[in-house]
Structure 1
Amino acid sequence: MDAVRKAWIGTFNALKYEMSENAFSGSSINGFVNNSTVNGITKKRSYSANAYFKPAQNRSNLHLVTDALVEKSFLTKHSGRALLKGVEHIFQAGKGVIVAAGALNSPKILQLSGIGDAELLRSLGIDVYVENSNVGENFQDHTSSGMSFEVIDEIQTLDPLNRQEPKAIAAAMSAYQTDETGPFAGAAVSSFAYMPVPDFQTPKGKAELEHLLLSYKSEKESVTTEFARSVLSSADKSSACYFVYAAHGNFGSDASSAKNVTISHESGNFLTIACELGYPLSRGSVHIQSSSTSDSPIIDPKYFSNPIDLDIHARFIRYIHNIAATEPMASILKPDGHISPSFAAFGTDLEDAKDYVRKTMISAWHPCGTCAMLPLADGGVLNQKLIVYGTRNIRIVDASMIPLISRGNLQSTIYAVAERAADLIKLDHNI
């Protein structure tokens, strides 16, 4: 284990967040070293294409069509429910169709096909087959922010690679090609900490939380926001996660894409400590803007539309300074070293922390929830078999079906959803 990972775990132990159980139990609190989706034997990335598709690509009943755009699904009424007949020009659906276009495009396909809010569809000249105003609602995402600290000279980081320094790239490539070691054989982010809100663990903090929750309580809470609120009150459930990235993080600049976050304009070597809000209360939407397939949907994430999210995120961001100042983490950071962005040294004032989050917050690119598997009356689009309400044979299998965002990265969750969907389909067809 390298110095950064050792310092990470030791620091959270020093902060009295000792690991009490398996880090992957789903309920642990503390810093830990995460598994990476890198094959331990081949030292290559393991993901859906090479783990699922490649072994099955030569099957006679599997045909991959690339560079194809699904325009809509053709529906016909059958016993009061819509039955999918086929996708325009190309396919005839014999038994069913699986939509797996993601949280941004699966609701788009449904709406273009006449499944969604009747008023919206009619305003765009689309015939309504299934009226369901829940389609495209319940958008959720993790918000992320962080700051970077200059490290002591003995700590190696990924900054030279991010700056595209030829010597560093050549050394990393040589290590990987020679004996499958070095930075290309692992992940850039491997240390995490799932945490309750630190401020709310004292009597004063609990009073602050009660006041906060009462101040911004909606008249009608959804089943998903009720759960998110309950997590905030718990000392043994995490409301956010911290992670450390062994390089400079480009927060507070043009971080509209994952690539831009890792582009370094700083000299020197850094560690970035970042935080993702686990269970946001804000809910956004994804809706089509026309009947044309070529038009992207209107995505309104409504980040921080519930003020509680900003307050909680700011408290977690403020606590990063505590992490950096605690041993052994403090020993691997340069005394009086550079902190980036320059306005990260905002002290302990909560309003200053909120302002920092507003300036630096980016998406974690974990959109989900827009075709939720919930009872229809609770905002659902899919039943417990992942079938679209009002249809017989349209399933959605992607992040849009998640009713409440998981507290971590969605990757493994989506794999589990797909595995479960396969089982459901096999049961339906006695396979």
Structure 2
Amino acid sequence: MSSETYDIVIIGGGTSGLVLANRLSEDPNLHVIVLESGEDRSGDLNTLTPSAWPLLSNSPANWTFHTAPQKDLGRQITVPQGKALGGSSAINSFLFTSTLGNAGWDYTAYEKALKKSFTLHKPFGVTEGKGPLQLTLATPESVWQKAWIDGLKSVGFPETDPLSGHLGGPNIAPESIDPKTKQRSYAANAYLDPVRSRPNLTIRTETTVTKVLLERPSSAGDAVAKGVQFTSKDGSSQTIGVRKEVIISAGAINSPRLLELSGIGGADLLQRLGINVVVDNPHVGENLQNHLFTGLVFEARDDVETIDAFFRQEPAAVAAAMQEYGTKGTGPLSTSNMITMAQLPLPEFHTEAGRKELDQLLGALDPDSDARRSPPTTPAFAAAHQTFVRSILTDPSEALGNYVFGSAYAPFDAPSPTYRAPGKHVSVAIELSHPLSRGSVHITSAAPEHASTNEGLSIDSRYFSHPLDLEVLARQVRFTEDIISRAEPLTRYLKPYTKRFTDLEVTKDYVRRTADGAYHYTGTCSMMPRAMGGVVDNRLRVYGCSNLRVCDASIVPLEPTANPQAVVYGVAELGASLIKEDIL
């Protein structure tokens, strides 16, 4: 073991890792090190400029994983994950929206932790909170924002507060943008920059951990983390020791990967790859969940402004946007352009006939398909998951789908993802908030050189492997087309439109062809009882280990309703509090 030793080793300098680094290094007696595979991109304008986030999808700041071919989609799906200080909070969009848990993780405790993370800047100079992350909440100012909110009101969905925890209508979502600088506020500049000079905090970038070094004092005792092995910038393999805790915060893809490389996972897989089994837990890497989405595009009237020209990168539109952002801090460069949204139920399942149809759909599922969906998932978890989703579907007060509205063409059904149609358009992205399909992430190689790349593992999201997901998302598409056709004053700004999706089978074909995965991966190191399928306990400790924890999106056992950025900050803040209680 190296003579270099720290009290706390944090693996991953992403959203959770930097929250933990800030909070745990508040104690000057704790020596904390963060090891991050990516670079420090805190000075990169593409990272900081709000509208530039799509440019990061194929940059060195992204791991750019890919799923295995998806049987029910007929193609592979890209899996974006942040590879930089700040993790996915450095490359994602900016939306901040907020039965199977564990003790201490009720909504009250979580909400208290979440509020420690942000300062919310409301219109007219009003602020709430004193947290490091800076959030900006705009008022609906554009013609399209007002039309979206008023239109949904007209069909029975009143405006809601996106941070209230009570959803069911349209809103303008807060963005993680600092209103003073007009730049991205994320884990690196919010949580790390103010404390970089602490003498007890060390940050190493371009450093990839390949293994947690575990020892088992006895055959019956828990394993103990003694340190970590990593590959440094110069390519050499090194180790450092740990006195108290190793915390894995590498995200929903890399956290289970590192556990398996360290000997924690299904024994059959590990033995096949020549890895010594330290803890046999086949649930590691299982329960992968993500939001699937598709969308609809409507032609706008020629006399109403959209941002299509900017999205097409027409020189005059880009120059005007740069001028407006540079002089006023406003315009399409100052935002993700994705803040006009809604959390809506699906009314057709709220009637007695609708609930009966839902029960028939669930009852008609092939029981043998469970093996194809997620073999190691316990029957108890599968049943609880399905019961939870059914309760959401049938409750008029619960949001079933997340809908994002924008005044430009989106290539849902385009020849390529980069295609931008001529003319003027509005688009509605339609997201399945509570998928029942569950996938997996598992290593395919024990070679340490793969740990810093997108190779050496298999990601199988198993999208639409649960038939109800396709059924519900298709109905959401049909529902969206119907409400848009009736939502005055929105409809007055659109060109005449003929409905395409009255037939459910036609709609399903469209969804299969156009569906894609969001950036919202969770669940692969789930926090729940081990017998139910858990990987970590309610203190975030990995089952079978005394001083190894996981703290990131992978511990969330059920996909949150919408964008999980807020959830990850809340998990990290609450996790930091629990760790402090245990080690100080």
The TM-score range, normalised by the shorter chain, is over 0.9
TM, length-normalised to structure 2: 0.69
Pairing of 1:203-352 with structure 2 (within 5 A): 203-216=352-365, 220-222=379-381, 223-253=384-414, 260=417, 263-293=418-448, 294=450, 295-326=455-486, 327-336=488-497, 346-352=500-506
The CA distance in 2 between the partners of 1:183 and 1:204, in whole Å, is 45
Superposition RMSD on alpha carbons, in Å?
Answer: 1.7
Tell me which amino acid in the other structure corresponds to 1:24: L
Work out which of the residue numbers 298, 317, 342 in structure 2 matches 1:193. Answer: 342
Q: How far did 1:254 drift?
A: 6.7
**Structure 1 gap segments, 5+ residues each:** 340-344
The CA distance in 2 between the partners of 1:193 and 1:405, in whole Å, is 18
User: Residue by residue, what CA displacement relative to the aligned partner does 1:252-279 show, whole Å, maximum 9, x if unpaired?
Assistant: 3477xxxx3xx33311121111111011
Q: How far did 1:115 drift?
A: 0.1
CA change 1:92–1:377 in 2 (3 A) is same
CA change 1:49–1:254 in 2 (3 A) is farther
The CA distance in 1 between the partners of 2:179 and 2:325, in whole Å, is 13
Q: How far did 1:122 drift?
A: 0.3
Work out which of the residue numbers 395, 402, 410 in structure 1 matches 2:549. Answer: 395
- On the 8 A contact 2:265/2:282 being kept in 1, the answer is yes
The CA distance in 1 between the partners of 2:361 and 2:196, in whole Å, is 53
The CA distance in 2 between the partners of 1:71 and 1:191, in whole Å, is 41
Work out which of the residue numbers 130, 133, 136 in structure 1 matches 2:285. Answer: 136
Tell me which amino acid in the other structure corresponds to 2:163: F
The CA distance in 1 between the partners of 2:162 and 2:493, in whole Å, is 24
Tell me which amino acid in the other structure corresponds to 1:181: T
- On the 8 A contact 2:311/2:420 being kept in 1, the answer is no
The CA distance in 1 between the partners of 2:432 and 2:415, in whole Å, is 20
- Secondary structure of the residue that 1:192 maps to in structure 2? strand
Matched with 2:187 is 48
- On the 8 A contact 2:444/2:456 being kept in 1, the answer is yes
The CA distance in 2 between the partners of 1:15 and 1:372, in whole Å, is 39
- On the 8 A contact 1:86/1:93 being kept in 2, the answer is yes
Greater Cα offset, 31-40 or 275-284: 31-40
Work out which of the residue numbers 244, 248, 252 in structure 2 matches 1:99. Answer: 248
Tell me which amino acid in the other structure corresponds to 2:405: V
User: Residue by residue, what CA displacement relative to the aligned partner does 1:139-176 show, whole Å, maximum 9, x if unpaired?
Assistant: 10000000211212343323222211111111111111
Q: How far did 1:109 drift?
A: 0.3
Matched with 1:64 is 203
CA change 1:314–1:421 in 2 (3 A) is same
Matched with 1:29 is 168
TM, length-normalised to structure 1: 0.92
- On the 8 A contact 1:241/1:276 being kept in 2, the answer is yes
Matched with 2:306 is 157
User: Residue by residue, what CA displacement relative to the aligned partner does 1:177-220 show, whole Å, maximum 9, x if unpaired?
Assistant: 11212112223111111112232133332221121122228583
The CA distance in 2 between the partners of 1:155 and 1:409, in whole Å, is 30
The CA distance in 2 between the partners of 1:296 and 1:271, in whole Å, is 41
- On the 8 A contact 2:211/2:228 being kept in 1, the answer is yes
Q: How far did 1:390 drift?
A: 0.4
Q: How far did 1:44 drift?
A: 1.6
- On the 8 A contact 2:168/2:397 being kept in 1, the answer is yes
CA change 1:62–1:246 in 2 (3 A) is farther
CA change 1:221–1:5 in 2 (3 A) is farther
The CA distance in 1 between the partners of 2:398 and 2:308, in whole Å, is 34
- On the 8 A contact 1:248/1:264 being kept in 2, the answer is no
Matched with 1:342 is none
- On the 8 A contact 2:380/2:532 being kept in 1, the answer is no
Tell me which amino acid in the other structure corresponds to 1:354: K
CA change 1:154–1:54 in 2 (3 A) is farther
- Secondary structure of the residue that 2:183 maps to in structure 1? coil
Work out which of the residue numbers 219, 222, 225 in structure 2 matches 1:81. Answer: 222
**Structure 2 gap segments, 5+ residues each:** 1-140, 230-237, 371-378
The CA distance in 2 between the partners of 1:217 and 1:279, in whole Å, is 20
Greater Cα offset, 358-367 or 47-56: 47-56
Tell me which amino acid in the other structure corresponds to 1:280: P
- On the 8 A contact 2:308/2:409 being kept in 1, the answer is yes
The CA distance in 2 between the partners of 1:250 and 1:355, in whole Å, is 17
